Structure 1
């Protein structure tokens, strides 16, 4: 029987071999610092090569009206748009607005959810970026009653 440490060592060894041979997807190493440092939705979309985001009924944002605990706010994004490359989840008043980026391929349904930290009441955005560089968003204000960022 293999323990967790042995399994992790083997997984890292396989990943190392794949990376050394160039078979490991480059996107797995990709980190877009400009996007995660962005202070606005438009700046984050621009960092992923998209134009100014426009509101769309084809992008859905799931978030509570009131978050009792800002440390764990459930948020989700989905879209029915064709040709979507990325889905972003953003919290406008967070120190780093971009909370999560999900890559979409034809084999992946454009429907994701996660949990975010929110230190204060803020607009939350779901942004869909298409392969042709267009950005579409949905937004919702989430009221935070107990801050999650050290509050």
Structure 2
């Protein structure tokens, strides 16, 4: 049984651990992971000041996402899953939840700056690649920029 709920500020350290395990799952070396440390650290202020949701499985947090932005543009800032549940459908549930919340807030589209290994997931969810953006952690690394249309204008 799984449940999606708002994250609590005191869960910031746990969410950071999930983010690191999730990123490391793709085989990045220790040096790369250390360069990503600042980008993968979740602070209690992130949780207090933004929309951060967690998904629980059997009472344990196994993933989370954060939404930021101003209408019309939502930014899916993070979506990380504990590697032990990758491929079990929890990521899709979080994605659908993020899309539903974004629509409810009046966002027209959601932008995602994706890890290259996660791009396939977002494409399967209906996002389209619209370009590349530089990594804020690794100089010279370009990351896929994706867009998911939430509301149809007209």
TM category (shorter chain) comes to: under 0.3
What TM-score results when the alignment is normalised by the length of structure 2? Answer: 0.25
Q: Pick the structure with greater CA Rg.
A: 1
What TM-score results when the alignment is normalised by the length of structure 1? Answer: 0.25
| Bigger relative contact order (CA 8 A; separation at least 6) | 1
